[in-house]
Every structure is written in C-alpha cells, then in structure tokens.
Structure 1
Amino acid sequence: MLPQGFRAFDADNHYYEALDAFTRHIEPEFRKRCMQWAQVDGKTRLLVGGKVNKFIPDPTFSRLAKPGVLEKWFRGTAEGSLIEQFGELEPTRPAYRERDARLAAMDELGLDGAMFFPTLGVGMEQALRHDIPALCAAFRAFNRWLEEDWGFAYRDRIFAAPYITLADPDNAVAELRWALEHDARMIVMQYGPITTARGWTSPGDPVFEPFWSLVNEAGITVVYHGGNSAYAELLSWWGESHDLEAFRATPMRGLISPEPIADTIAALLSYGVLARHPRIRLAAIETGSDWVPVLFRRLKKSYAQQRHAWPQDPRETLRERLWVAPFHENDLTELRDVIGADRIMLGSDWPHTEGIAEPLAFAKDLEASGFTDEEQVKVMRTNAESLVRRLP
C-alpha cells in the first residue's frame, strides 16, 4: 500500500485552452489563415484555416462534464448510453484555466506535480497541414500563450509542454531553441508521419537530424500524446469520415488495427535516431499500452532476422528510453512484464471525462495487478518526476 500522506506525480494533466490561446500572439499576416471564432447557426464555432473544426464539440469549454465521469465506460462496466454517462454539465472551474487555482486543486488531489498537455491543441496540426507556414505560426502563437498563462515549470509543480510540429524542420529547431530558453523541460508532439513541403515524411528522416541532435544535446523529454494524427486518413479508406470528432466514434474507428504511436516509435528505432542520440527519452502518454507488447514481439522477430541492421536489441533500447502512461483499463501486469515497472507512469488525464477523477485511486489498479509497494511508488511518482528534469 502507498504510505499514508503519499503525494503523487501525474504524467497526464490537461488545461482547457483560453479562447485566445491561438490568437493572442498570432503574427498579423497569419490571422485569417489560422484560428478564428465565428457565429454559426447561433453557436460559437472554431474556424481553422477557414473551415469549421469539429475536433472538440464545444471548443469554448463553456460547460463541461465532471472529471472522470466516463471511467466506467472505458472500463466496459457502465450501464446506459455514452450520453447518459456525461451527467449534468457544469461551468468551467477556475482550476481548468488558472494555474494558481490549479495548484490548490492539485493539493486536494494529492499531487505534488504534473505534466500538462493541450486539450484542443492536440487536434490542430492535421487541420492546418495543408498550409505549413500557417501551421507553424499557429503553434508559435500557442506556445507563447502557454508560457504566459501556465509557464513551462511553474513553481516547479506545473510542467506544461510546448507543442512542436516537424512540418518545417528549420522552424522546429528554432521553436525548440526558444522553448529551451524559456525553461521547457519537455516537448509534446503528434505521432504518425509528418506532412512537410515534400509530402509525407518519417520522423526518422535525415531532414530532421538537426532537430533530434538538439533534443539530444538539451537532455529533455519528447512526449507523444494522443490526438488527431495523419492516420485519420486511413479511416476514409474504410468509408469513415477522416475528421476526428471527440466522443463521436463509430465501432469501426475503434477497431482499425494500425497504431500510429507504435509505428512512430518503430520509425525512430529503424531509422537509427535513438542509436545516434543516446540521450533522447521518449514518453507515450494517453496512447494506452496495448500496442507495447505487439511492438516488442515484432521487434524480437526483426532482431532475429536482421541482426546486422541493429546496433543492439531494439527491445533493450526501448526498455532504456521509453516511458508509458497506460490507460487504467489496460493490462498492467503484461506491460510491467514487457518494459518493467521503472518505465510505467500514472497518467490520470485529469480533468478530462475519460480519465480518473481521483488520480491516487490508480494505486488500486496497480495493487490488483500485483505491483509491489516499491513498484507502486515508482509508477505513482518517481518515474514521471524524473522526466521533467533535464539530463546533465
């Protein structure tokens, strides 16, 4: 059992973006090409690149469901429809948008610190991929809002991750340098192939070598966080809409097999990025963990068949360099057996509906899965805490 008074470090917290998160610092020449607000049929809608964006049903976040109300739904134990699970909506709490109010909420939740990620922002890269200069401008503006409103290491408790897109490799290097100058401890990126000026590009392509070299030199953590990736295009091959809409998933959307996070990690391995840059640490957050054992089985076969292509067993590389925050409904015992308790992190997703209302309750899942007291402390605190400290 966790010791009495134990305080955790959460690898997955979220803010709800201010209305001007993408517009407060936007460069004037990009104002109409990026994010705008408009009244459509009597409702406030977000326009991205001049098109109504449906990634979030209410991107103003004016009324929200309570944290964790969908936990039973995702565990497969809920009764009733998805809509019924949301319950009565409430006005946005100050803790969702104000960092000092959030610190007070973290005290109540038993959190000494947490990594913070976008809610709306993780769905915006694909919406602007057709206009790479605008895409880069939008996230330059976003990151300056984020640093201003939340800070990248506020009170050494709130660690907000600036968002980096690789769509323009030179811009990615410049934006990373700016983030490092402002004390960023980690960056967040979207998994999957990247749209660049020459078309779809692997994150392991040599064109990104200056970026990965800087990441390696800086000793920061690269987080791949769930969101809308290029793999949404695969859905249209099966007759589904390629526009990702939260909470409007069809059964087919959840059954399509490719995992963009697994393929992204595989690309960084097979293109030699991790071999060339031994200080790069990767974290997969809000991607679940069912993909991890599958990837390890594939890597085992590849290493056996093409040992000459690998400087070392790629499974050992990942056990050294990859941290994972599983979903609470995942098989935690299997994940521990594959990557070890040293590489698993609490990720409550607070205050999102699909997360855990009380982050410390995750310890019950760990205990039920046979994790020792020492392993529980690692998962609930020390593993994630280590990732917000730059390597010396």
Structure 2
Amino acid sequence: MAGKQSALRSVDDGIPTYEGPIFDGDTHIQEKDYSFFERYLPEKFHKDWLPQRKHGPDGRFGLFIGETRIENADLQEDGLIPPPGKLKEWLRAISTGEAVAASHVTTPDMYELGPRLAKLDEFEVDGSIMFVGEFVSAFGQILLKAEEMGAEGANALFHAWNEYLVKEWGLNAQDRIYTTAVLSLHDLDWAVAEAKWLIENGLRVVVMPMGPVSGKSPADPCFDPLWNVLNDAGVAITFHVSEANFMHPVIREWGELPLQSRKSGQTAWQWMFAYSEIPVMMTMANFVYWNFFERFPNLKMASVENGAEWLPRFLYKMDKMRGMARSGFWPMGQLKERPSTIFKRHCFVVAYPEDDIKGIVDQLGGDAGCILMGSDYPHAEGVARPRDFIAEGCKGLTNEQTEQIMFSNGRRFLPKGRRGITG
C-alpha cells in the first residue's frame, strides 16, 4: 500500500500526477515487411493468400492478399509512417481533408522483441497488449475470400500470423508484452485446434472479428467448444477496431460501398454507423444478453480502439432493454443480474485520449473500473509516450481513478501469471 500511495500524488490544475507503473491496453506491431509470411505460410497458398506490399496492375502501390487489393490499407511506398502520437495533427487532417506527413522511419522496437522490451523500460510500462499492425486492415477481405474460396487458405494465413508471433515474439514475453493471436469462428474445428496449440505456447489474449458468424450469434452454444477451451485457460478476448463484415449488407442498402479506403473512400455515414463503436456495441451486448459470462465465468473481453464515450449510454440502454424484454425470448435464459453489472465484471473498454474520460466516469457514478488506457504506439492516432495519456485523457480525474485507468484495470484484465483466471 505504501508503494501505491507514493505513486499517487496531488492534483495540479486538474491533471493528476501519477508516477506509478503503466499497463498499456493498445499497442501495435509495425510490420517492417511481409517476408515472414513467406516463411510461415505454406507455398501452395502463396498465389491466392500471401500478403505483400506491391504495385497492382494499375500501377498503384498497396497491400495485397494474393492478387486482392486491400483498399482500406493506406500505405506509403517509401515505407515511412506518420510519427507516433501525432494525434492533434491527425484530427486536424481529418477535419481539413489533408494528410499527416508520413515522415517517420520505422525503428527496431516496432518489429523486434528485444528492442520493444527496451522501449517498455523507457516508457515505464509494466505490461502491454500488442496487436497486429496494418495486417488488421485485411481481416475483412480475408474472411470474404474464405466465403468465396473455402476456409483452408484463410486458416493457413491466420496460422502463419500466429506462428510468426509464437516464434519471433512469444505470446507472453516476461508478463510484459502479450501479443494477440488471431482466432475466428468462421471454421470452428480449425479455431478449436488453433486455440489448443496457442495455449500450449503460452496464449493469454486473442483478437477476433466482431459480429455474428453464418447467421448465428458468436455466443450460440454451437461455438461452445472454442469458448470452453479459452475459458479453461483464462484467455482474454479482444475486439480491435477493424472491418465489420456483417455491416456490409447495411452499407449496400444505403447505396454505399464497403471495404473502401479510410482516407478517400469511406463516407462520414459509414464512419458513424458501420465502423468502430456500433459494431462493437452490438457484439458485446449480444454476449451479455446470451448469458455468455454465466456459462464462461473465467473469460474477460475488451473493446480496443473504438473509443469509450458510448459506454455510459450503452450500459443504461442494456439495463433498460432487459426490462423491456422481461417477458420476451431469452435464447440462453433470463439474466440473474443487471447487464451493466455483468459487463463491468467481465468487460473493459480502451478509451481514446481525446475522449471526455472524466465525463464518462462521472456518468458512471465515479466508477472507472472498466476503462483502460491505450497509447496506440507506434501509430499516429494515440499519444507519443504512454504517460502522456494522463495529461491528455485524465484531466479532472482523481488520483485513484487515474491509477485504475493507467494500470490496475489492465492488470485485472491480464494478471501476471500463466493462466490469468483470477483477478
């Protein structure tokens, strides 16, 4: 307790001064190149499934899966990226239609384990969740190709990514870097076998696509073989912002096209209704309403890079709609508790630094217990250094609330230790 008190100091001008350890809920690999896929993806899948940065037949440079262009992956041909943490410039660019200058050279900590561990020391980060880099932009197209060509190639591609993590990063590096292996429900037998293999190799957290699968809720009992495996091992589940394929029919109904460039092709309406917070709200509410966490009490779940300003209204509406449906059909039986209570026990939300986090916490009655910080390093949208999140996002919060968001909530989500079931 004494150590904790020494880390919590007075509030100055509304900005808490927190000097304790940090748990960063959103960091990324920045792929230097895709040569590792040539090592881990069997050669028979290269023609249709190998990820590459290259010029297409039209001369445009971009990310391809086989010969399929990933339109929503915005890459620079020279390999430069926007400098990490240029949030204000990024937001200004969105409002003016200009682009953030891609003037930063990738550094070894973005694509190698040893330098990343050293970077965590520099940043005073105790633990971090590390997600895929630009490859995440391909998930939607990969699952579409699986529908058209069969699941074997998609399975091999996702396994290649997971094998790269296992062999070149580790799935749990010193209880400090937890890399997110990819699982998907599109092929249940593959997912169960892959999960078992990953757990044997130290799996702590996975990233999965949002939404239903083949017309079924992800919490449908038909998928329980996978959830049982993850529950027994205490694996955490994350939904990072990415393409929500189940929204594509809705987009088309409104006369628009899905899978367009984020910079030049996606409309404001799609940003508002078909990407980020609405798909993740639908997904996480479905898990709660389907009594998922009563069946799988060891599982925890997090929304990442979808912001948090939706959270208070979401929890209020979940509780209200439980009342509206009290005499309705409950696929897995009535809930024994308020949906908001269940959510707060099992679910977490990574806030943007630009969110009104104090307003969010105030609307939750001062409860900051399910909010995580995320630097988004090394991406431009977040903060340059994780501790910068305090000044940008925690203004007006108490020191205790700040400590929860900056550290202890993250450690409840992923406690130190192999299995991570308690906490």
After TM superposition, the score normalised by the length of structure 2 is 0.83
1:348 equivalent in structure 2: 375
C-alpha distance in structure 2 between counterparts of 1:332 and 1:259, whole Å? 19
Residues 1:380 and 2:406 are matched in the alignment? yes
Does the aligned pair in 2 maintain the 1:287–1:326 contact within 8 Å? Answer: yes
1:245 equivalent in structure 2: 261
Residues 1:324 and 2:346 are matched in the alignment? no
Could you report, residue by residue, the CA deviation over 1:13-45 in whole angstroms, capped at 9, with x for unpaired residues? 001124134432113332222124344355654
Q: CA deviation at 1:378?
A: 1.4
Please say which of residues 294-303 and 311-320 is displaced more in the overlay.
294-303
Q: CA deviation at 1:117?
A: 0.1
Does the aligned pair in 1 maintain the 2:18–2:403 contact within 8 Å? Answer: no
What is the identity, as a one-letter code, of the residue corresponding to 2:257?
S
Q: CA deviation at 1:387?
A: 2.3
What is the identity, as a one-letter code, of the residue corresponding to 2:106?
T
Does the aligned pair in 2 maintain the 1:61–1:92 contact within 8 Å? Answer: no
C-alpha distance in structure 2 between counterparts of 1:59 and 1:183, whole Å? 35
Match of 1:33 among 48, 52, 64: 48
What is the identity, as a one-letter code, of the residue corresponding to 1:105?
K
CA RMSD, 1 decimal: 2.5
Match of 1:293 among 288, 292, 312: 312
Residue correspondence of structure 1 range 220-369 to structure 2 within 5 A: 220-233=235-248, 234-248=250-264, 249-256=266-273, 259-307=278-326, 309-336=334-361, 337-338=363-364, 340-368=367-395
Please say which of residues 169-178 and 49-58 is displaced more in the overlay.
49-58
- Distance of aligned partners of 1:160 and 1:312 in 2 relative to their CA distance in 1, 3 Å threshold: same
C-alpha distance in structure 2 between counterparts of 1:269 and 1:137, whole Å? 31
Residue correspondence of structure 1 range 1-392 to structure 2 within 5 A: 1=11, 5-17=19-31, 18-37=33-52, 38-40=54-56, 41=58, 45-58=62-75, 62-74=79-91, 81-84=96-99, 86-129=100-143, 130-131=145-146, 132-194=151-213, 199-233=214-248, 234-248=250-264, 249-256=266-273, 259-307=278-326, 309-336=334-361, 337-338=363-364, 340-368=367-395, 370-389=396-415, 390-392=420-422
Does the aligned pair in 2 maintain the 1:228–1:244 contact within 8 Å? Answer: no
C-alpha distance in structure 1 between counterparts of 2:219 and 2:260, whole Å? 26
C-alpha distance in structure 2 between counterparts of 1:42 and 1:99, whole Å? 35
Q: CA deviation at 1:103?
A: 2.1
Please say which of residues 171-180 and 299-308 is displaced more in the overlay.
299-308
What is the identity, as a one-letter code, of the residue corresponding to 1:126?
G
- Distance of aligned partners of 1:329 and 1:231 in 2 relative to their CA distance in 1, 3 Å threshold: farther
Does the aligned pair in 1 maintain the 2:28–2:376 contact within 8 Å? Answer: yes
What is the identity, as a one-letter code, of the residue corresponding to 2:80?
R
Could you report, residue by residue, the CA deviation over 1:283-325 in whole angstroms, capped at 9, with x for unpaired residues? 1111111332232232122222334632221111001111111
After TM superposition, the score normalised by the length of structure 1 is 0.89
Could you report, residue by residue, the CA deviation over 1:208-233 in whole angstroms, capped at 9, with x for unpaired residues? 11111122111121111111111451
- Distance of aligned partners of 1:59 and 1:282 in 2 relative to their CA distance in 1, 3 Å threshold: farther
What is the identity, as a one-letter code, of the residue corresponding to 1:312?
E
The alignment partner of 2:348 has SS state of strand
Q: CA deviation at 1:64?
A: 0.9
Q: CA deviation at 1:72?
A: 5.0
- Distance of aligned partners of 1:271 and 1:88 in 2 relative to their CA distance in 1, 3 Å threshold: closer
What is the identity, as a one-letter code, of the residue corresponding to 1:344?
I
Q: CA deviation at 1:190?
A: 1.7
C-alpha distance in structure 2 between counterparts of 1:6 and 1:213, whole Å? 36
The alignment partner of 1:253 has SS state of helix
Q: CA deviation at 1:235?
A: 2.5
What is the identity, as a one-letter code, of the residue corresponding to 2:111?
R
Could you tell me which runs of 5 or more consecutive residues in structure 2 were left unpaired when the two chains were aligned: 1-10, 328-333
C-alpha distance in structure 2 between counterparts of 1:345 and 1:34, whole Å? 35
Does the aligned pair in 2 maintain the 1:275–1:311 contact within 8 Å? Answer: no
Please say which of residues 27-36 and 210-219 is displaced more in the overlay.
27-36
Could you report, residue by residue, the CA deviation over 1:177-218 in whole angstroms, capped at 9, with x for unpaired residues? 111111111111121223xxxx33321122211111122111
Please say which of residues 258-267 and 292-301 is displaced more in the overlay.
292-301
